[in-house]
Amino acid sequence: MLKKKLEKIAYRRLFQQLSQKSRTVSPYKIEDAKRIGILWNKDDNNASNEIQKILKELKQPNRFIHTLAYSKDPKELATSSAHHAIMVPQSIKWTGEPKNADALEFIHTSFDILIDLSMEHNLPLIYALALNNSRFKVSSNIDLYQCADFFIQTPSKEISKLFSQMKDYISKF
């Protein structure tokens, strides 16, 4: 019960911070984007394999791709790097705000498009989505309407199918 109350307070604080930010929304097609950010949860089913396939698909010369993942496993923090940041419970404040430098760098990086591929509510990833200053933010979680600009919902719990649908819809802009 205390955890739920703290989470509710954290969300309230996050949305207060979000209301004080201003940014210009510019829809971007994935194929035109030079700077792409991807949020994902390493604890989602088969997520690591699917993210690797997506990264290979997105890789192009002169394209910067940066990922931020959340994992419950504290050992994962050791694999964090500047372009593939990891957050674990020990590296996050109770408000959902990351404490590690790689995750903070991700939040402060402005992308052409920021894609949220997490399948479940995850406060640290929501924090990163909400406070990042990217030009265009895409998510599958309609509950986060304050945090993103475009939403794709899919009954599938597979990241690759979600990404494929996002790519198809965004290409129509």
Query: Residue 121: pLDDT band by 50, 70, 90 thresholds?
Result: confident
Query: Does position 95 have pLDDT exceeding 90, yes or no?
Result: no
Distance (Å, rounded) from C-alpha 7 to C-alpha 119? Answer: 18
Which of 40 and 26 is assigned the larger pLDDT? 40
Q: How many domains does the chain have?
A: 1
Give the CATH number for residue 21.
3.40.50
Domain assignment of residue 133, given as a range: 2-170
Checking 78-82 for CB contacts under 8 A at 24+ apart, the result is none
For the question of whether the overall pTM of this predicted structure is more than 0.85, the answer is yes
Distance (Å, rounded) from C-alpha 90 to C-alpha 73? Answer: 10
- DSSP label at residue 153: -
Residue 148, sorted as left (phi over 0), alpha (psi -120 to 50) or beta, turns out to be beta
Distance (Å, rounded) from C-alpha 81 to C-alpha 10? Answer: 27
Query: Does position 156 have pLDDT exceeding 80, yes or no?
Result: no
